[in-house]
């Protein structure tokens, strides 16, 4: 994947889990990586240290990707660190926030989850696209929840991630003229702090047992797919989602 050598990638929520694995993988193939984070400064700096220890270049930049002023600063700080051109954008930031059924759900909670998982993807993409090189790639994080509605209390999250799929298809069409490809990855059960926080241990074990691999996925499983979609090896894939769930759901 020599086409990535020396180019610039921005990974939102890059300080831990899938975000960290993605930053490390892109840096491994020669990319200069912006590790965006919200509150986990130590974790983001640790990710940068890991990149640099392996001979790569990275920088940690704080920004709340639900706020336009923060996103504008993220763009400016990225340009300051690595120049005006961005070649790969990975919209990874997001989260469940909490499990709430529709009857107990406040309007403010719904809006918070949608803004965190869907509106942020639009806002960050809108801000960075004018700075992206023609022929670049955007990779958005959706979820198995977008396909099956998610687990209990995840209807807002599942709705937002379904929106990410549709947004990615539409954006791929808009960016056709600049040859900027837009794709998604849709992870299933991945061993992350997301599930450490929101999924009971027995439920995780039960789900892992019925995957074809009989295990949870790893952040590296997802990062490897993001690397593929970021590179020219996926040049004929556009507006698509790659499902990373080891047979939990087929499309």
Catalytic positions are 157
**Burial class of residue 137 in the structure, from the number of CB atoms within 10 Å of its CB (0-12 exposed, 13-18 middle, 19+ buried):** buried
Q: If we measure between CA atoms, which residue out of 241, 219, 237, 246 comes closest to residue 147?
A: 241
Residues in the chain: 251
Concatenating the DSSP letter of every residue in the chain gives -GGGTT-EEEETTTTSHHHHHHHHHHHHTT-EEEEEESS-HHHHHHHHHHHHHTT-EEEEEE--TT-HHHHHHHHHHHHHHH-S-EEEEEE----------GGG--HHHHHHHHIIIIIHHHHHHHHHGGGEEEEEEEEEE--THHHH--STT-HHHHHHHHHHHHHHHHHHHHTGGGT-EEEEEEE-SB-SHHHHHHS-HHHHHHHHHTSTTSS-B-HHHHHHHHHHHHSGGGTT--S-EEEESTTSS--
């Amino acid at each position: 994947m020599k086409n990535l050598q020396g180019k610039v990638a921005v990974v939102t929520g890059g300080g831990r889990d899938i975000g960290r694995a993605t930053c490390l993988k892109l840096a491994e193939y020669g990319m200069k990586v912006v590790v965006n984070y919200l509150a986990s400064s130590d974790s983001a700096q640790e990710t940068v240290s890991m990149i640099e220890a392996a001979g790569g270049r990275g920088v940690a930049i704080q920004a709340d990707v639900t706020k336009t002023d923060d996103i504008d600063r993220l763009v400016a700080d990225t340009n300051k660190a690595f120049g005006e051109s961005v070649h790969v954008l990975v919209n990874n930031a997001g989260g469940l926030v909490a499990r709430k059924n529709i009857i107990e759900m406040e309007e403010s909670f719904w809006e918070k989850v949608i803004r965190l998982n869907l509106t942020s993807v639009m806002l960050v993409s809108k801000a960075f696209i004018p700075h992206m090189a023609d022929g670049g790639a955007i990779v958005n994080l959706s979820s198995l929840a977008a396909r099956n509605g998610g687990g209990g209390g995840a209807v807002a999250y599942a709705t937002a991630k379904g929106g990410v799929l549709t947004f990615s298809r539409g954006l791929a069409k808009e960016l056709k003229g600049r040859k900027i490809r837009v794709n998604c990855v849709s992870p299933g059960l991945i061993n992350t702090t997301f599930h450490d926080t929101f999924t009971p241990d027995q439920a995780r074990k039960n789900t892992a047992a019925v995957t074809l691999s009989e295990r949870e996925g790893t952040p590296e499983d997802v990062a490897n797919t993001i690397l593929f979609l970021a590179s020219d090896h996926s040049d004929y894939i556009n507006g698509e989602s790659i499902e990373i769930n080891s047979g939990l759901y087929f499309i």
